[in-house]
Every structure is written in structure tokens, then in C-alpha cells.
Amino acid sequence: MLLRFRSCLVASFLAALLVVPLRAVEPVQICAGLPALGVPDWMRHEIIYEVNVRQYSDAGTFAAVEADLPRLRELGVGVLWFMPIHPIGEKNRKGTLGSYYAIRDYAAINPEFGTEDDFRRLVKSAHDQGFRIILDWVGNHTAWDNPLATSHPEYFLRDASGHFQPPTGFDWTDVIQLDFTHPGVLAYQFETMARWVREFGIDGFRCDYATGVPTPFWDELSRRLREVRPDLYLLSESELPQHQLRAFNTSYSFEMMHTFNHVAAGEAPLSAIDATLARTRVRFPEGGSLIYYTSNHDENSWQGTEMERLGVTADAFAVLTFVLDGIPLIYNGQEIALNRRLEFFERDPIQWTAGGEKMEFYRNLCALKRSHPALAVGAPQRRILTTKDESIYALFRGADEGAAVVTFLNLTKENAHADAYDPALAGRWRDLFTGEVVDIVRTFPVELEAGAYRVLVRAEPHP
């Protein structure tokens, strides 16, 4: 009977996969009112820090990252996301060193970074210092010379001539597309991911190009992985709301990142931020979450640094990523105001001696995010109106009469003055960055230079 039941599950799973065309964009499912999987408790106050091992140091090794863990602990981040750590394909490789996302062996370590023992030491040291570790998982495609292409060619899609094919719609000529209707693909990915969890203590995965993989595949993979570790954290590099019903805890906020760029360039009004948040509320299930960011490896290398894209408002938008209801992301180097695009296929180490003034900026934001109940994932959020809403974005997080954080941001290239009013503003507040104590009775006058910001933390309500 159990065998029959499992056979029915497999048949139903494969049938569900066939509902979504393998080379078509999966449609957005409106999930408002449905319960999200939610985030594990350990993630509700966290900040994700993306580690590009190749460019992190002159050595480009795990050992160099391990040596820098005390500085990251001082910065205040708690979750380290490692870009792919596996060997890179050589066939059809791009550049000298190739793309991290062309995986030759999912179960091995890229010798460019060190050995398996080096990585074990890094993970243990990070855990001992209070960090969580998530790995990049590339589930949509493999390198041409991945052994699976020889041992299990049936795991891959073929073109009309019967040849392996890269994912369609991209210039990803260094990788070949997996076929998710084959049950062996799911079995292989589960066993390999589970090994990293069981043997290395990995706390989660950031799943690359999750849009390319059918949602039923992710649902089943997630179910199996959470039998291994119930509080595993899964981040989807996708904005498909249905991913958070059964598979993922958090999704990317591509739309908001593009909204930031358009607002900063003067191509969209500040109200575009509210419109983006409104679409998120309608599309995503209750209790869902997004990551917010001003840079990551893709944006930095291909679209430009946050300074290039956001200009004078870069810091203000960084503040917004921390106070919005979600999970903030820092890409390595942002904390020193790294103002150059890192090479993707070549060695291009970060020079950590430059721009150290941003350390204190991010340290303050990380400390507030990790400690204040008003900034937990799911805490109430609303915009406060001002007399200059076209220039100043005012966001209130928390309880009207309890723990709260209110943020005022000038997201334009011009100085601005406004008056803000909301009954919940009455009380005594402390400025996060200056320590100034501010008493508000009814209205609050806000005067901000272009790209300036104020973050006020409630000290006590007004009598």
C-alpha cells in the first residue's frame, strides 16, 4: 500500500511539472489571502551578507574569508551567503576563470578557493562566532562537462538535432538546461543538497534563477529537504509569489530594485515605491517576505555600482532596504563604499583599505535591524504623509504607541523641507545616527539635503 501511495505521488508530481511548459515563463499566481511558508524564527531580524570568495581577498580563498569573520561580526551581519563554491566547467567557459554558475560538480569544492577541509573549518568557525551559512544552489542548468551529462544524459533537454542546449532567452552558452520532468533530476538535487546540510551544517540555500525551475519541482524538493532540517532557509532568486506557498521562505525584490533605480534617475515619482509595495501585497501570500538591496553580484558587475545607479541617493536607498518590511542584503564591499564594478570571469580582488567610512553607517543599521522589534519581518509598516511627498519618503514601522522606528528619506537630487504629521509621532525619539533626542508633539518639521535621511527610534511615547 505504501509503495502504491508513493507511486501515485510521483505520478502526480510529474504531471504537475508538465502543466508548466519547460521553456515558457511560468505565469504569476495571485496569492493574496493564502498563507505563506514564512521565515524561520532565526531569520526574522537578520541581514544577509553576500560573499564573492574569488574577489573577497587577494588570496581569493576560504581561509581569507575565515580570517575576516571578526570584522563581519563587528559589522553586525548574521547570515553569510556564499556564491557557488563548486568546481567550474571548462568546456565553453567564459573568460579565464569562468562563471561560478557553470557547475562542473555539485558535490565538490572549487580548488580555486581551497579544499573541503578548508570549507569545513570556515563553516565551523562561522557557526562558532554566531553566523548562519547559506550556499548558492544552481538548480536550472549545469556546465557542459558536468559528469551528469555523460552518466545521465537523460537528465537534460535536447534541441531538434538531439544535442544538449543552453537555457533559452539568454547568452548562457557555458551551461546546458536540465529536464525537470525526469525524476532522477529531483532525486539527484535532493541528495546532493541534503549532503551539504547533513555533513557541513549548512543553514540554507539561495536558489539561482529559480524562475526557470517549475514550482512543483521546488515544492517537492523543499518538502524533502525540510524532513532533513525543518528550519532550513530557502531564498528564491525569483519574484513568483507561488514560490512562497510551499517551497521558499523569501523571494527577490527585482521590481523594487528597479523602482529604486527609476526614482533615483528622476524617471519615476516617489509614489512608485508605494505602487510596488501594493503590487507585492496583492501578489504574495500572507506572511511572505522579500530581500531588499541596492547591489549584489549581478547588479555590481553588469549594471553598475549603487553609486553609478543611485547617485547622491545611494545611502538613503540603503537605509530604506533596512527599514522596509523584509530582509536587507549587503554585497561584499558596500560597507567600504566600493565604487567599481568587479570583474565576473577574472580575478579582481576588493581593496579593503578604501572607503572605510561606510562601516559605521552599516554597523548602525545592522544593530538596529537585529535588535528592534519594529524591524522584524512581519512587523507593521505604513507610509506617513508629509507636505512634500514628492521629495520625502516617510516610513513608520511598529506599534502606534509602543516600540517604533520612523524614517525620513530625501530620495531626490534637491534639498527639501516638509512637515510630517501622524498621531503616532507624538513622543520622544532618538536619532539613530546622531544620538540627538527629538521631542514631537503634533507635527515634525523635516529638512533634508538631497539624498539625506533621518532614522528616529522611539524612546518613550508622549504623555
pLDDT in tens, 26-40: 999 999 999 999 999
Given pLDDT bands bounded at 50, 70 and 90, which one contains residue 20? very low
pLDDT in tens, 319-349: 999 999 999 999 999 999 999 999 999 999 9
Domain shared by 139 and 103, yes or no: yes
Q: Write the DSSP assignment of 351-408 as a string of letters.
A: -TTS-TTHHHHHHHHHHHHHH-GGGSTT--EEEEPBTTTTTEEEEEEE-SSSSEEEEE
* Number of C-beta neighbours around residue 278 at 10 A: 10
Among 348, 375, 402, residue at a domain's last position: 375
Tell me, what's the pLDDT at 435?
Answer: 97
| H helices present in 115-168, as ranges | 116-128, 148-151
Residue 426 CB partners (closer than 8 Å, separation 6+): 440, 441, 442, 461, 462
Domain shared by 287 and 394, yes or no: no
Length of the chain measured in residues: 463
Domain shared by 346 and 424, yes or no: no
Question: Beta strand 132-137 with 141-143: parallel, antiparallel or unpaired?
Answer: unpaired
Tell me, what's the pLDDT at 462?
Answer: 57
d(CA 246, CA 238) in angstroms, rounded, equals 15
Domain shared by 356 and 401, yes or no: no
Question: Beta strand 141-143 with 48-51: parallel, antiparallel or unpaired?
Answer: unpaired
- Are the C-beta atoms of residues 94 and 35 closer than 8 Å to each other? no
Domain count, the chain: 2
- Are the C-beta atoms of residues 83 and 344 closer than 8 Å to each other? no
Among 319, 346, 375, residue at a domain's last position: 375
Percent of the chain with pLDDT over 90: 92
Place of cell 526557470: 212
* Nearest residue to 14 via CA among 212, 155, 221, 216: 216
Place of cell 531569520: 43
Residue 447 is part of which domain span? 381-461
Instruction: Report how far Cα 353 is from the mean position of its chain's Cα atoms.
Output: 26
Domain of residue 432, CATH code: 2.60.40.1180
- Are the C-beta atoms of residues 42 and 75 closer than 8 Å to each other? no
* Number of C-beta neighbours around residue 460 at 10 A: 10
Given pLDDT bands bounded at 50, 70 and 90, which one contains residue 354? low
Q: Which residue has the higher pLDDT, 187 or 4?
A: 187
